Chains A and B, each alone.
Chain A
Amino acid sequence: MNASEDYSMNDRADLLQGTLDLLILKTLVLGPLHGWGISKRIRQLSSEVLDVGQGSLYPALYRLEDQGLIRAEWGVSPEGRRAKFYTLTAAGKKKFASERSEWRLFSGAVDRVLKAT
C-alpha cells in the first residue's frame, strides 16, 4: 500500500488522472516557475477553463520532484518574494515529450470517436 493512494481517494481532481502532470511539465518547458505561477500559467493558457486546485497542484509537484522529473530551488521572485522555483530536469523533458505524444494519440482518438455519429 503506498501512501499516495490515500490522498487521491480523498481528493476530487477535476482533471483526468495523469493530465495534471502533463500540464505542469508543459508550463515548466517554457522556464522555471513557482507554484502559484504554474497554476496561473495553466489558467491563462487554458483561457481560464482549467483551474488547478492547490490541493492537487502541490502534491503533484512533490510527486514529480520525488520522481526526479522536476527540481526545486529557492529563489527570489520578480515581486521580491522568496519563492520555491521548479525547473524541468532532463528526465522531465524526456517524460514530457513522451507524455505529449501519448496525449495527442489519446485525445485524437477520443475526438474521432465523438465525431463518428
Chain B
Amino acid sequence: MRQWLNRMARRVRALIHGPALERELDAEMQHHVAMEADDLMRTQGLAPDEARRRALVAFGGMERYKEAHRDARGVRWIGEFAQDVRYAVRSLLHAPAFSASAVLVLALGIGASTAVFSAVDTVLLSHLPYPHDDRLIRIYEQNSPTNRFGLSVVDFQAIASQAHSLSAVGGVWSLDVAVSSSAALERARAGFATSGFFRALGIRPARGRAIEARDERTGAPPVVVVGHQFAARTFGDDAGAIGRTITIDGTANTIVGVLPAGMRELAGLHAEIWPVLHLDPPTRRGPFGMLVVGRLDKGVTLDAARHELAAISVALLEAWPSFQDHTARLTPVSLREAALGNAGHTLGLLAAAVALVLLIAVANVASLMLVRATGRWREVILRTVLGASRGRLVRLLVTESIVLAAAGAVAGIATGFAGLAVLKAIGPDVPRLDGAQLDARAVAFAVGLALVAGIVVGSYPVVLLLQRDPAPALRDGDRTIGVSRHAHAIRSAFVVAEFALALPVLAGAALLLNSLVRLQRVAPGFDPAHLVALRVALPSARYANDTAIATYWTKALPLVRTIPGVVRAGLGEAMPPDEVTNINNFDLIEHPVPPGGAQPTAPWVMIGHDYFAALGVRLLEGRLFAPADTGAAPVVVVSRAWAERYFPDGRAIGQRLVSGGCTTCPLTTVVGIVGDVKYEGLSGSDDAVYEPLTQGWSRDLNLFVRTAGAPQPVVHRVRTALRSVDPEIPLDDVVPMEDRVYASIAQPRHLTTLLGGFAVAAVALAAVGIFGMLSYMVRMRQREIGVRMALGAPHGAVIRMIVRRGMTHAIAGAAIGLSAALVGTRWLAGALFNVGATDPVTLAAVTVLLLGIAWVACWLPAMRAARIDPVAAIRVE
C-alpha cells in the first residue's frame, strides 16, 4: 500500500513537473554519453571528437529512450489523450455528415430530456419554500375519494381550538377585490388570511411584519401584507409601501409587510394582497371554501392528525344540524401533495415519452457508430499490424465516442434551454414550472446522459476490437465480411428496438389527439360567436346588501341594452365553459338521500334576466324566471341532463328539493328545463341548476353581451356605460367567448402538442434508422445484387427482397411496441376524453401509420438497389 502511494505520488509529481523531469532525463543521458566518451578516450586513446561520436552511436537515438522513460513513469497517456482528442476531432470532421447527424440526434435526445428533467426537478423534487415543509398539511372537507372541498369558518375555528396534533393552523378566503391607492384603482386577487396562516407556513415578509394575532381582534385596525409585485407596481419599491394605506373594497387597510419577490403564491393560492381575515361568529355550518393549512406538531404523524380531525368532524355534525353529510370528513393531505395535484402524473407522462425518444436517439447514434466502425475495420487492422497496441486503438475509439458525446452534451444543453422555454410556454399547467431553470443539476444531468450515451454508442466497436484478432482477417484478405455480419445482427436489433420504442410514443400522442378532436367537437351549449363577457365585481363596502347591488344593475343593464349593436345582455355568476363558482348539494324530496349519505351535487349558477337569451340557450319545458321569484318560494331551472339524470321518466318540472342542506329553509321547486351548457370544462358533465339573482344577489358577476356584428366596437361603449353608473368599479378586460372556449382546452391541446412533437421525433428517428440500415446493406451487397440481376432477377424481385428485409424489422418492432403500448397507454386514461386508453382503432391506425412510414423508408434504398447497373457492379470489385 505504501509502495503504491509512493508510486502514485511520483506519477503525480511526474505529471506536474513534466518539463523539469524531461530536462533531468536529458542531463542523465548527456552524462552517460560523456562518461562513455571519457572511457573510450582513456581505454582506446581516441580523440575527444571521435570518442564522443562513438559514444553517441553506441547510445542510439536519445528520443527513443525518453519515450521509453515516459512510458515507465506512466504519464504518457495524458499527452496521448490530447493527441487522441485531436485525432478524434480530425477524423470526425472528415466525416461531417456522420458527425453532424450523430451530434444532432444526441442533442435532440439530451436536450429534450434535460428540459423535462429541469421541470421534474423543480416541480416534483424540490422542496416547498417553507421551513420543514414535510410537516405542513392542507386540510380539506372530503366526502368521497374524489371529492374534496374547502372548509367553513366553523370547521376552521373547531380545528384551531381543538386540534392538538397541529402546532399552528391558518385559513385564507380568496376573493377578487377592488383595490385603490392614491395611484390607481384596480381589481386584484386578495387572500384574506388569519395570523395562523403565516405562522403555520413559517414565512417572514421581506419587509415589515406578517399578520399577527392582535390584528384579528375585533376592533383592531385593518392591516394587509402585500406581494412584492404589488408594492413595486403601486409604490415603486418595498420600503415605500410599509405604512401606506390602500382601500380594499372600500375599507382602508394599512400595509404592514411586503412578501419576498419570489413569493407570488402561498400554499398554492395566488394572490397579490393578503389582508387580515376577521371572522364573524358563524350562524350556520357553511359556506365552505376556506383554504386551511396546518403545521404538524413535532413527531405527530399524518395518520394521528387524520384521526383527530375525523373525531372533530363527527362532533361538528352534532353541533351544527344545518349540514348533515355524514360522509364528509376533515382530511389532512401533505401540502406538497396538495400543491402538486396531478402534476406528477403529467410530468411523468412527459418524462416517459422523452425517455423513449432518448433511447431511440441513442440506438440511432449507436447504429451509426457501428457502420462507421465496420467501415474502419480495415484501418484498425492496418494500424494493429503497423504496431499500434490494442489498448491504444481502444482508447482511440473510446475517445471518439467521448468527443462525440461532449459535442452532444454541449448542443444538448443548448437544446435544453430552448426546450425548457417551450415547456414553460406550452407545457402542462403545473405549479412552480415558471421557476424551472436549467441549473447546475440539469447541466450535470445532461453531461451524465451524454457520458452514458457516449459509452453506449461507442462500446460495440471496442468490444469488436477486444474480441477479434485482426491479424488473421488481414492475412486471409477478409473483406470485413465476418465483422459486418456480426455488426449487422446488432444493427438489426437496434432497428427493431427503435420501432418498438417509437410505437408507444406515437400511440400515446395519437390517443391524445383523438381525444382532443372529440373534445373540440363538444358543443359548449351556447353560441360563442359575437358573444363577450365582462366581469364586474362590486366593492363590498359600498354594495353591502342585495338592494344596493340590485340598484346598480337596474341602472346599468338598461344603459347597456340601449347601446347600438347590443342584441342581448344578461348576468350570470359562472363563466361557461369551465368556470363554476358554486357547486351546491341538494336533496330531492321524491328521492331523499338516506340519513348520513352523501347528497348529490351540481354546478349552481345564479343568473339574471336575459341570461339564457344572451347565451342562446333554449327553454325546453316549463318556464323561465319571473320578477316575482324573490325567494319566498324559491325556484330553480335545471339543465336537460340534470332532469334526465334524476327524473328519467320526464317528471322533473314541479319537483321539490332541499338546497344546500338547509332543512329550515323553504323548499325549492323546479320550474323549467333548459338546454345543456358546459360549466365544468368541455369534458365535464352537463348538469346545471340555475337560480335567479332575485333570490340572492352576488357582488361578483359576469355581464354577457351578444352583439349584432363584431363585438370590438361595442365593448368600449359597454365599459363607458358601466363607468357612468359608478366610476369607482374596476373593470376587467372583455373576453370574447370564442377565446374562452378555445382557452378551456389549452391544457389537452398543449399536452397533445408536446407529445406529438416527441412522437414525430421518435418516428423520424426510427425511419432514419431503418433507412440507414438498408442503404448500408444495399451498398455492401451491391455485387451480389448485381449478379442476381445479371442472372435475370427482375427489378421487382430485388425491390421486394430489400423491402421485405426492412419490413421484417419494422413489423417485429411494431409488434413489440404494440404490446408495450397496450400496457403503457393505460397511464393516459385520466387525460383522455371519450377514448379508451387501448382504443383499438387508434392503436391499429398508429401501427399502420408507423409501418407505412417504415415502408417508405425501406422503399427508397430498395429503389436504389434496383437501379444498380449489373455490369458495373460486378466489375467494380
Query: What residues of chain A have their CB less than 8 Å away from a CB belonging to chain B?
Result: 1, 3-7, 9-11, 34-37, 40, 53-55, 58-59, 62-63, 65-68, 74, 77, 79, 81-84, 91
In the complex, are the beta carbons of A66 and B10 less than 8 A apart?
yes
Distance of B614 from chain A, by nearest CB (Å)? 84
CB-defined contacts of B391 to chain A, threshold 8 Å: 1
Docked-complex contact B72 and A36, CB < 8 angstroms: no
Q: Is the CB of A81 within 8 A of B32?
A: no
Shortest A53–chain B CB gap in Å is 8
B74 contacts chain A at the CB level, 8 A cutoff = yes
Would you call B144 an interface residue if the criterion is a C-beta within 8 Å of the partner chain's C-beta atoms? no
Q: Is the CB of B36 closer than 8 A to any CB of chain A?
A: yes
Q: Is B629 an interface residue (CB 8 A)?
A: no
Q: Least Cβ distance of B749 to chain A in Å?
A: 57
Contact call A36/B35, Cβ cutoff below 8 A: yes
Cβ contact within 8 Å between A6 and B31: no
- Bound Cα distance from A37 to B169, whole angstroms: 89
Q: How far is the CA of A41 from the CA of B65 in the complex (A)?
A: 21
Q: Are B72 and A62 in contact (CB under 8 A)?
A: yes
B73 at the interface (CB under 8 A from A): yes
How far apart are the CA atoms of A67 and B74 in the complex, in Å? 12
Quick check: is B308 within 8 A (CB to CB) of the other chain? no
Question: Closest CB of chain A to B20's CB: distance in Å?
Answer: 12
B68 touches A59 (CB 8 A): yes
For B28, give its contact among A9, A66, A84 (CB under 8 Å): A84
Contact assessment for B65 and A4 in the assembled complex, using a CB-CB cutoff below 8 Å: no
Complex Cα spacing A5 to B36, Å: 29
A interface footprint on B273-317 (CB within 8 Å = 1, 0 otherwise): 000000000000000000000000000000000000000000000
User: Which 5 A-B residue pairs are closest in the complex by CB-CB distance?
Assistant: A1-B391, A36-B35, A62-B72, A3-B71, A59-B68
Cα–Cα, bound, A79→B37 (Å): 13
List the B residue with the shortest CB-CB distance to A60: B72
Bound-state Cα–Cα, A91 to B2, Å = 11
| A55 CB contacts on chain B under 8 angstroms | 60, 64-65, 68
A64 to chain B: closest residue by CB: B72
15 more A-B contacts (CB under 8 A) besides A11-B68, A68-B7? A3-B74, A34-B28, A36-B36, A54-B60, A55-B65, A58-B65, A59-B65, A59-B71, A63-B72, A82-B27, A82-B31, A83-B28, A83-B35, A84-B28, A91-B3
Select one of B34, B59, B68, B69 contacting A81, CB under 8 A.
Answer: B34
Query: Interface on B for A, CB 8 Å cutoff?
Result: 3, 6-7, 10, 24, 27-29, 31-32, 34-36, 38-39, 58-60, 64-65, 67-69, 71-74, 76-77, 387, 389-392, 394
Specify which chain A residues have a CB less than 8 angstroms from the CB of B35 in the assembled complex: 34, 36-37, 40, 77, 79, 81, 83
**Closest chain B residue to A81, Cβ basis:** B31
B389, A5: Cβ atoms under 8 Å? yes
Q: How far is B65's CA from A59's CA once the two chains are assembled, in angstroms?
A: 7
Docked pose: A10 CA to B32 CA in angstroms:
22
Which residue of A is nearest B34, CB measured? Answer: A81
Once A4-B72, A79-B38 are accepted as A-B contacts, the answer to whether A67 and B7 lie under 8 Å apart by CB is: yes
- B72 x A68 contact (CB < 8 A): no
Q: Which B residues lie within 8 Å of A82 (CB)? A: 27, 31
Is B73 a contact partner of A62 (Cβ separation < 8 A)? yes
Q: Which residues of A contact B31 (CB under 8 A)?
A: 34-36, 77, 81-84
> Could you jot down 13 A-B contacts, CB within 8 Å?
A1-B392, A3-B76, A3-B77, A4-B72, A10-B387, A54-B60, A55-B64, A58-B69, A59-B65, A68-B6, A68-B7, A82-B27, A83-B35
Residue in chain B with minimal CB distance to A79: B38
A4 near B71: Cβ-Cβ < 8 Å: yes
| Chain A residue contacts of B3, Cβ below 8 A | 67-68, 91
Cβ-defined contact, A66 with B39, below 8 A = no
| Distance from A8 Cβ to chain B, minimum over Cβ atoms (Å) | 9
For A62, give the chain B residue with the smallest CB separation.
Answer: B72
Cβ–Cβ < 8 Å partners of B69 in chain A: 58-59, 62
Contacts of A4 in B (CB 8 A): 71-72
A34 CA to B30 CA in the complex, in Å? 12
Tell me if B68 and A58 are in contact (CB < 8 A). Answer: yes
Q: Is A66 a contact partner of B7 (Cβ separation < 8 A)? A: yes
- Would B389 and A54 count as touching, CB distance under 8 A? no
Shortest CB-to-CB span from A90 to chain B, Å, is 11
- Select one of A3, A9, A36, A79 contacting B32, CB under 8 A: A36
> With A and B bound together, what is the CA distance between A1 and B394 in angstroms?
10
Question: Which A-chain residue is minimally distant from B75 (CB atoms)?
Answer: A3
- Residues of chain B within 8 A (CB-CB) of A79 are 35, 38
**Which residues of the partner chain B approach A65 to less than 8 Å between Cβ atoms?**
10
Complex Cα distance, B387 from A6, in Å, reads 9
Whether B38 lies near A7 (C-beta < 8 A) is: no
Alpha-carbon gap, A47 to B597, bound state (A): 113
Contact A40 B77 (CB under 8 A): no
Q: Determine the residue in chain B with the shortest Cβ distance to A11.
A: B68
Give A4 to B65 CA distance when docked, in angstroms. Answer: 12
Structural contact, B392 and A7, CB atoms closer than 8 A: no
Bound-state CA distance A73–B375 (Å) is 52
In the complex with contacts A36-B31, A81-B35, A54-B65 CB distance below 8 A? yes
Residues of A within 8 A of B24 (CB): 74, 84
Report Cα–Cα, A59/B69, bound state, in Å.
Answer: 5
Q: Bound state CA distance, A11 and B72, in angstroms?
A: 14
CA distance A42 to B58 in the complex (A): 16
Which residues of chain A are within 8 angstroms of B68 by Cβ–Cβ distance? 7, 11, 55, 58-59
